[in-house]
């Protein structure tokens, strides 16, 4: 039996678009496999996801896997189609913020931006340009999907009934799970570091004014890894695409090669030079200097955390109270526990953990707290943290006493799937959906009505 695969669209957009698919893909890259309203699903989309699924170790009948991938893509396009009907809107800020977050994650997985770019032979800017619109559509589809199931709830009785209907020999085995807390200390960049960064950029501005090439200085000194190698050039962008302060400075430049004053955003200090304007679009190059947290402040954060950890070990302070009082992490309101981004659950399997976290807690006993550890926050800020192993479970068959939350998640997902199935059945009768002959013999999960 083949497990159904629902692969995140952007992940495949990032990985699948650059997977080294064979020459067959090149020949069929423009073939339309399905059309949902005005939104096409290309054969190359299916092949890219199929190649990625195989790379992730999925096995089974190739045609069946392609059918599952194809159905998922058609469903995503139907959601986008519905989002347009409902006039749902996704702002540029939301798209750019999510794009940056995901790219940081991928860079972290590869170890560095350079390794990511070398592996796929694409620059970060090329990734951004290729993925911005697919991501916008993904967010739109998520909003539409959320509206479909927003009223679906699960009562305790329904959860119990769902579990009781699982055949005894089909009750899943729950692998080892962990509940892990963290206390994070993020040092604030001090006035001297802010002054140092601004003065460094001011010196570079003076050099440009005196006639040195902006592009050369950007390559040598800019700390924006995505644009420095290209002389700081960002490419054409519209309003709403950048940090407000950056955007205001960019659109205030009037003539080619005009230089901005030094501006500050949450990323650091910027110097801009106008390349061109085209209607409502502008292209600039910039030099970014990022203020650094001082080594002394980082060391002080580590020392404070070690002191807090000592108090927890001595039972003079509970971990939960310590997290609430001292942590700079938003999760401190939840007792400092790390949560699953998808479900919000605090019980996490090993494959849901950051490898750096697992490497530490795997050697710990429940109730133990680590020493201070270097940590980079989601926005790239240097920090320190301590980790606390609250719980480690043993592998076991799922049961209502120990695994109620997980069983409730399964039951809720099952109920939402039934509601989704009914929605697809109804919507596909009124939407224009045509599909290629390639997929007319697929055994689809949902009941579709296709346009002849």
Instruction: Report pLDDT digits (tens) over 179-188.
Output: 999 999 999 8
Rounded distance, CA 286 to CA 268, Å?
12
CA distance 386 to 341: 20
The domain locations on the chain are 9-154+404-439, 176-188+294-394, 191-289
Fold of 176-188+294-394: Chitinase A; domain 3 (3.10.50)
* CA nearest neighbour of 15 among 96, 109, 78: 109
> From first to last of its 452 residues, what are the pLDDT tens digits of the chain?
223 333 333 444 444 444 333 333 344 445 899 999 999 999 988 998 999 888 888 889 999 999 999 999 999 999 999 999 989 888 887 888 788 888 877 877 777 778 888 888 888 888 888 888 888 889 999 999 999 999 999 999 999 999 999 999 999 999 999 999 999 999 988 888 899 999 999 999 999 999 999 999 999 999 987 788 889 998 888 777 788 899 999 999 999 999 999 999 988 999 999 999 888 889 999 999 988 888 899 999 999 999 999 999 999 999 999 999 999 998 898 899 998 877 778 889 998 899 999 999 999 999 999 999 999 887 667 899 999 999 999 999 999 998 998 999 999 999 999 999 999 999 999 999 998 888 989 999 999 998 87
Selection from 207, 192, 210 nearest residue 287 by Cα: 207
C-alpha span between 282 and 251 (Å, rounded): 7
> Considering only CA atoms, which of 37, 143, 145 is closest in space to residue 90?
143
Cα–Cα distance between 309 and 369 in angstroms, integer? 6
Q: Which CATH number is 9-154+404-439's, of 3.40.50.300, 1.10.10.10, 3.20.20.100, 1.10.4030.10?
A: 1.10.4030.10
Looking at domain 191-289, which CATH architecture does it have? Answer: Roll (3.10)
Residue 217, both tokens: 């200085």
| Residue 446: closest CA among 150, 167, 78, 170 | 78
* 9-154+404-439 and 176-188+294-394 have identical folds: no
**396 backbone dihedrals φ, ψ, rounded to 5°:** -165, 165
């Amino acid at each position: 039996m083949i497990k159904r695969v629902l692969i995140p669209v952007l992940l495949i957009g990032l990985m699948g678009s650059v997977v080294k698919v064979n020459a067959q893909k090149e020949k069929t890259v423009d073939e339309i496999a399905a059309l949902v309203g005005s939104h096409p699903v290309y054969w190359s989309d299916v092949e890219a996801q199929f190649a990625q699924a195989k790379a992730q170790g999925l096995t089974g009948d190739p045609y069946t896997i392609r059918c599952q991938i194809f159905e998922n893509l058609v469903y995503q396009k139907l959601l986008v189609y519905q989002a347009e009907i409902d006039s749902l809107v996704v702002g540029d800020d939301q798209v750019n913020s999510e794009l940056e977050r995901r790219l940081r994650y991928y860079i972290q997985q590869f170890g560095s931006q350079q390794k990511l770019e070398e592996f796929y032979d694409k620059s970060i800017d090329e990734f951004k340009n290729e993925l911005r619109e697919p991501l916008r559509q993904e967010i739109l589809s998520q909003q539409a999907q959320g509206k479909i199931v927003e009223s679906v709830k699960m009562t305790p009785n329904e959860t119990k009934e769902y579990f009781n209907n699982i055949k005894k020999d089909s009750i899943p085995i729950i692998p080892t799970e962990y509940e892990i807390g963290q206390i994070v200390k993020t040092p604030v960049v001090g006035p001297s570091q802010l002054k140092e960064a601004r003065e460094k950029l001011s010196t570079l501005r003076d050099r440009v004014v005196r006639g040195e090439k902006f592009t050369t200085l950007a390559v040598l000194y800019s700390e924006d890894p995505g644009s420095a190698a290209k002389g700081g050039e960002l490419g054409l962008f519209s309003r709403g695409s950048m940090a407000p302060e950056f955007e205001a400075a960019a659109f205030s430049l009037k003539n080619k090669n005009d230089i901005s004053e030094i501006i500050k955003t949450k990323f650091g200090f910027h110097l801009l030079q106008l390349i061109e304007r085209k209607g409502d679009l502008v292209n600039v190059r910039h030099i970014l200097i990022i203020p650094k947290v001082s080594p002394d402040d980082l060391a002080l954060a580590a020392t404070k955390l070690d002191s807090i950890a000592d108090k927890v070990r001595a039972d003079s302070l509970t971990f939960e109270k310590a997290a609430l009082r001292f942590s700079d992490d938003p999760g401190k309101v939840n007792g400092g526990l790390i949560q699953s981004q998808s479900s919000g659950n605090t019980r996490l399997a090993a494959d849901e953990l950051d490898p750096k976290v697992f490497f530490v807690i795997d050697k710990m006993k429940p109730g133990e707290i680590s020493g201070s550890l270097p940590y980079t926050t989601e926005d790239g800020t240097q920090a320190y943290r301590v980790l606390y192993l609250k719980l480690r479970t043993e592998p076991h068959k799922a049961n209502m006493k120990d695994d109620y939350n997980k069983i409730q998640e399964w039951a809720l997902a099952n109920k939402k799937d039934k509601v989704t199935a009914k929605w697809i059945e109804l919507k596909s009768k009124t939407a224009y959906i045509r599909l290629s002959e390639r997929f007319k013999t697929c055994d689809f999960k949902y009941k579709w009505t296709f346009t002849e």
